[in-house]
Amino acid sequence: MADLTIMGAGIFGLALAYSCAQRGARVRVIEKRAPCAGSSGGLVGALAPHVPENWNTKKAFQFEALRMADAFWAGVTARSGRDPGYARPGRVQPVPADKLDLAHARAAQARDLWQGFAEWRVLRATDAPGLPLNTPSGWVVHDTLSARLHPRKAGAALVSALQNLGVEVESGETPPDGTVIWATGYEGLLDLSRDLGVDIGAGVKGQSVALALSCPDAPQIFADGLHIVPHADGTVAIGSTTERAFDDPSSTDSACDALVAQARMLCPALHDAPEIHRWAGVRPRAKSRAPLMGAWPGRAGQYVFNGGFKIGFAMAPALAAIMTDLVLDGQDTIPEGFRLTIP
């Protein structure tokens, strides 16, 4: 008999299972498709912070989550013997000429808010590390807090780590009796909305592309909503779209062409890099835009752990530790704004 059952083997479900199993709990994971079959099986893997200004609970928690990521993924690597593709080469962003003063102001705030752990540096584009960029102002920001991992490799590493802890991912859709945590992605948000009779959240489709170019130590790039993330396997991920209306969750289309065109215009080194893969999936976006966690109202012994949206991989390890405290020990330290409540 398991102490608890986790429904869903995306990044939230797997990170929670890993956290609980490390604490000695007997864990069962049930997934109706395959581990990381949904939005957790994408290509991009950007673990990036909010800008260092207008500090609040969410930004502070994300900073702590990014700071603990090194140790978390090193532990997963050691337990699994598999590389999740994690590294912290930072991120480069072009700075428009009219935002240069703001960029310098943020650098000053980062020195305080990031507690010396990382920097927000304003540089001439010619002095920036990594792939050269087309930036009209000639200036960029390089932050050293951003990290990256390979979503599919990270999921596979977590599955292997769980196996080495005696936890298998089972196929199914129906949980047994007992304590259940629902980490079922956008479909879970729709189920929760139907059950509670209010709009809790839904899915937002994203498409991304992988190009063949080896620059494993280069920082990721972010500009005008576009992520360019070099990985250690000789690929560069380009993404992603944000589509609230869609017919087919897994189809790719001309939106991928637009992503690649935008990336190649920004980063000339990508111009001749061949395309090797396209991906589409639906990310769970809570109406609050923050992760949702806590007891499922009206269902004794059942919990919700969902809504990672675009920051799921960055936040999952830290959030999983909080959910573990709640489920195993009854200790509620859910951050402000993340708690599941009925509007």
Buried residues in 153-176 as b, exposed as e (16+ CB within 10 A): bbbbbbbbbbeebebebeeeeebe
Give the span between the Cα atoms of 314 and 66, in whole angstroms.
Answer: 6
What are the backbone dihedrals phi and psi of residue 340, each rounded to the nearest 5 degrees, phi first?
-75, 120
| 306: its two tokens | 């969902």
**pLDDT of 343 above 80:** no
Give, as one character, the DSSP assignment of residue 243.
B
pLDDT of residue 341: 87
pTM, two decimals, is 0.97
pLDDT of residue 4: 97
Domain boundaries, the chain: 4-329
pLDDT band at 249 (very low <50, low <70, confident <90, very high): very high
Tell me: domain 4-329, CATH 1.10.1740.10, correct? no
Tens of pLDDT, residue by residue over 192-232, are 999 999 999 999 999 999 999 999 999 999 999 999 999 99
Give the span between the Cα atoms of 243 and 216, in whole angstroms.
Answer: 29
CA atoms within 13 A on the CB side of 186: 19
